[in-house]
Structure 1
Amino acid sequence: MLNKLEMFIALAKEQHFGRAADSLGITQPTLSAGIKQLEAELGVKLVQRGSRYGGLTPEGARALDWARQIVGDARRLRDEMRFSREGLTGHLRLAVIPTALTWASRLSARFSAAHPNVTFTILSRTSIQILNMLENLEADVGLSYLDNEPLGRVQVQELYREDYALVCAPDDPAAGRTDIGWTDIGTRTLCLLTPDMQNRRIINRAFMEAGQTPNVRMESNSTVVLVSHVEQGGWSTVLPGDMAASLSLGRDVAVVPIRSDRPGPSVGLVAPYQEPQTPVLQALLDEARALSD
């Protein structure tokens, strides 16, 4: 039944038989047959369908929660048994907000040095996408903001507090300053992250609290694009200080810290709440705790 539950989860996520089959590497007839067999075993109709996918039935919506729990538990069981045979080994899928990618690299490098038999896939995603990926079992753990959006029933481990910096041209009058305020930035020609990024919403709130309406002339979901625009001249951007320092290396730009009278947003690991955690995931949470000290 386990493989049929995985088919059901994929179909609920993709909401399309063809895309769900592709995501699993199977044919659409195989997927359709698997869903029908699952319905027969459970004795209820799970999916509304005519010529195409029509959504889950009420029974299907309830079954989806059970399917995610059962599949997740089965994966954890496999991890536990592998740990008892082989020690700490396996693969971690880490979904990360774009502004925390430097911290993701720092964490995964430290972890890999201590546990060389564990491999990583690191994906850049928005904070909302990360929560959806955790719910749909597409990611094992996220690296995201901890205190700005509802996280649900999860386990968290803070890594750091985010601060901010202005990235500007080296001949900009602000380039020689030790710091700068939000009120001094609002009138600049800015390129910022897109509004679907939580970082952008945090920055918008900082400008609003400073009584500023930022002059945003270009938006991108890539921090590299933002710093490249600054390097071309005539633009400024605002990024977390750690990311600004990393992206400015080797580039003809200046980084100026932005003053703040309050702690920045908390950023850290977000993992589905479960007892016990898998050995690999618990080791990653422990590594994050050590890195944050």
Structure 2
Amino acid sequence: MQLRFLDYFVALAREKHFARAAEACHVTQPTLSAGIAALEEMLGKRLVVRDRRFIDLTPEGHAILPFARQLLADHEGLRRAIDAPAGPLRGELRIGSIPAAMPCIGHLMRALRAQHPRLQVTIRSLTSREIERALLDYELEAGLTYLHDDPPAQVRAVPLYSERYMFATRTDSPLGTSDAVTWRDVAATPLCLLHQGMQNRRILDAHLARLGLAITPVATADSYVALLSMVAHGGLSSIVTDSHAEFVAGDPELRVIEIVDPAPPNSIGLVVLDREPLSPLARAALAVAETIELTASLRARR
């Protein structure tokens, strides 16, 4: 069996579109279609339902998909393991990060480059559930996500830092000169928040529910950049994490304010799929994470 046929098959299952899958594999669409047909002939089963376009995988296609992903991941790990003794670790380290963890990316990148200067790193902004799925599907080597409150399954984790909620607003807003605010003050303010598909928002809503409060935001987004833009220019306030305070510290018109009776801190860490052997890339990410602790670094920038 030729591995490139499995690569075509996995790409098609991911993209659900022949042209996009062919583009992802850097081949023409006829080449990709011919490769999948050859794979079906080798296995003696139809794997894809199609009628001039992709419709779905057959039951047999769904059944072999996890094994195809694992075979490709193991082959890539084998190649990295062979190359490792010959020199510096190379390749693309794919990391998924929840939006709340984006402020730590620079610190992690510096540590990675110090130990593995030849690595290429790709960062994707994903929800915690998307990170879990992508790890299980071998689409990521590592993730930055919450370690408590519905943590990802089947992973090894290294804690990196803890975050606290804070209130972000303009200095000319009604609460803009306050030294501290209460959750009731915050709940009565026109807000923009992360949407409810984000774990950070689900943790926040659960804390508010324990206080007997609920918030209906004016606007939602999946990015703290969008939230801070709406605070700066949209006439709204927001609830952000203390690790984002550094991004408004240089703007005299914005403030990040302590919240009285704060919610318990949320632990964020680096996770990799719990399997043996670990791929060299996943092992490198885990080893680097074990050398750094970011709470002090992130809060020092406030």
When normalised by structure 2's length, the TM-score is: 0.88
1:15-94 to structure 2, matched below 5 A, reads 15-94=16-95
Cα offset for 1:270? 2.0
Q: Distance in 1 between matches of 2:275 and 2:39?
A: 26
Query: CA offsets, 1:232-282, max 9 Å, x none?
Result: 374210011112x12212222111122456632322112122212233322
SS of residue matched to 2:79: helix
Residue 248 (structure 1) aligns with? 248
Check 1:260–1:141 CA distance in 2 against 1; reply closer, same or farther (3 A cut): farther
Q: Distance in 2 between matches of 1:8 and 1:40?
A: 13
1:105-184 to structure 2, matched below 5 A, reads 105-149=106-150, 151-172=152-173, 174-184=175-185
SS of residue matched to 2:181: coil
Q: Distance in 1 between matches of 2:49 and 2:112?
A: 45
Check 1:51–1:37 CA distance in 2 against 1; reply closer, same or farther (3 A cut): same
> Does the 8 Å contact 2:127/2:198 carry over to 1?
yes
Cα offset for 1:46? 1.5
Query: CA offsets, 1:87-129, max 9 Å, x none?
Result: 3333211111111111122111122123212221112122222
**Worse-superposed segment, 110-119 or 256-265:** 256-265
Q: Distance in 1 between matches of 2:163 and 2:249?
A: 19
Gaps of 5+ in 1: none
> Does the 8 Å contact 2:92/2:121 carry over to 1?
yes
Gaps of 5+ in 2: 295-302
Cα offset for 1:139? 2.1
Check 1:90–1:51 CA distance in 2 against 1; reply closer, same or farther (3 A cut): closer
Check 1:194–1:181 CA distance in 2 against 1; reply closer, same or farther (3 A cut): same
Residue 99 (structure 2) aligns with? 98
Aligned residues: CA RMSD? 2.1
When normalised by structure 1's length, the TM-score is: 0.91
> Does the 8 Å contact 1:13/1:136 carry over to 2?
no
Q: Distance in 2 between matches of 1:150 and 1:287?
A: 21
**Worse-superposed segment, 182-191 or 262-271:** 262-271
Residue 7 in structure 1 maps to residue 8 in structure 2: yes
1:218-237 to structure 2, matched below 5 A, reads 218-232=219-233, 234-237=235-238
**Worse-superposed segment, 248-257 or 262-271:** 262-271
Residue 300 (structure 2) aligns with? none
> Does the 8 Å contact 2:18/2:29 carry over to 1?
yes
**Worse-superposed segment, 32-41 or 247-256:** 247-256
